[in-house]
Amino acid sequence: MPPELAGGDGAQAVEKDLLMRIGKFQHHGFPLVEIMIVVAISTLLASMGIASLVQARKKTQRVKNAQRVACIRNLKEIERAKIEWVLTMRKTDDDVPADTDLFGPGKTIRHKPECPASGSYDLKAVREKPTCTVPDHAL
């Protein structure tokens, strides 16, 4: 008769052998060193990611500021062209120049300026300053 069926010490030996085999395949979690390494690598990657995001944000701000400065320069140029137009054409402060009055061959400005931030310019009456559709681009 096999020891498993006989009961007594044989059954206990088989049960003990079976438990030892199962115990070899059980995983009791990660060692502390592995967890510390994973945390250290994660922290390093996160710090590198945050640093690159900060640099990208600064670069975006520099580009926006450069666009704003260039747009204001264009608005000042348009303002000067309006003043020259009103003086040479003997217009009043209420007159509104057309694009063809200020821009083109033989005019004050050869080509109509464009806002670097894709805004558009409104010339307005001579007494008013020209404007851009981008909110923070103003004289």
pLDDT tens digits for range 89-104: 999 999 999 999 999 9
* Better pLDDT: 3 or 112: 112
Domains of the chain (ranges; CATH) run 66-139 (3.30.1300)
Confirm whether pTM is higher than 0.75.
no
Each residue's pLDDT tens digit, 14-72: 777 777 766 555 566 778 888 999 999 999 999 999 999 999 999 999 999 999 999 99
3-state DSSP of 91-130 = CCCCCCCCHHHHECCCCCECCCCCCCCCCCEECCCCCCCC
